[in-house]
């Protein structure tokens, strides 16, 4: 009789496959709030924008269905064609430069932190601090630093006699993606650049 009681006790305990009382799938409910937020703020806007691209659009409401006419205009008419390819080129430069630079900087920092140098703990703190700051705060700080009128970078350049290097850094038309890419690499890798 004691053996029978023990075997039923063992069956009632949670197994890694079944969960407690067979409620293995109850765990998936914990993912539901994050999934709802992700779908609402990421998937739905992308899908909605894609659907709206097949309609006439006045900026406030969707008009009649026009099929691929918006895409034909985008790739054939001026100024849309030039603006699209310029913007696409900036994005390619931004993402390619960011990925390569993030990997290279992160690898070099990892090598430096794992080597035998003095003040290793200090460098670990300095490199990880930007990860603790919000991306919004970092963006705001960069807008202050790179401001063409009162920004710290232009002010510094004027004080050291390099006035000709001072410019509107974020509004400069030749290479805007390299500047935004460098700030993204800085926050992602831990460098305060």
> pLDDT (tens digit, 9 = 90+) per residue, 136-165?
777 788 888 878 778 888 888 888 888 877
The string of DSSP codes covering 3-59 is: HHHHHHHHHHS-BTTTBGGG-GGGGGGGGHHHHHHHIIIIIHHHHHHHHHTTEEE-S
User: Length of the chain, please?
Assistant: 193
Tokens of 113: 């932190």
Highest mean pLDDT among 101-105, 121-125, 133-137, 165-169: 101-105
In the prediction, which pLDDT does 41 show? 94
1, pLDDT greater than 50: yes
Question: Each residue of 25-51: pLDDT tens digit?
Answer: 787 888 899 999 999 999 999 999 999
For residue 32, what are the CA distances in angstroms to 36, 47, 142, 165? 6, 20, 36, 52
pTM score:
0.45
Q: Categorize the per-residue pLDDT at 17 as very low, low, confident or very high, splitting at 50, 70 and 90.
A: low
Residue 158: strand pairing partners:
none
Are the CB atoms for 63 and 57 separated by under 8 Å? yes
Query: DSSP state, 39?
Result: I
């Amino acid at each position: 009789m004691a053996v029978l009681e023990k075997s039923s006790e063992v069956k009632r305990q949670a197994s890694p496959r079944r969960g407690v009382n067979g409620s293995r799938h109850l765990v998936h409910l914990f993912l539901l709030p994050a999934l709802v937020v992700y779908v609402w703020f990421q998937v739905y806007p992308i899908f909605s924008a894609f659907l709206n691209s097949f309609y006439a659009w006045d900026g406030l409401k969707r008009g009649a269905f026009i099929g691929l006419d918006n895409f034909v205009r985008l790739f054939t008419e001026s100024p849309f064609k030039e603006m699209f390819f310029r913007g696409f080129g900036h994005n390619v430069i931004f993402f390619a430069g960011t990925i390569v630079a993030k990997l290279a900087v992160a690898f070099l920092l990892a090598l430096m932190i794992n080597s035998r140098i003095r003040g290793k703990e200090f460098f670990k703190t300095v490199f990880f601090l930007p990860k603790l700051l919000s991306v919004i705060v970092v963006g705001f700080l960069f807008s202050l630093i790179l401001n063409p009128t009162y920004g710290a970078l232009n002010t510094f350049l004027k004080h050291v006699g390099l006035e000709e290097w001072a410019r509107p850094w974020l509004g400069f038309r030749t290479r805007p993606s390299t500047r935004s890419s460098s700030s993204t690499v800085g926050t992602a890798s831990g460098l305060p650049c």
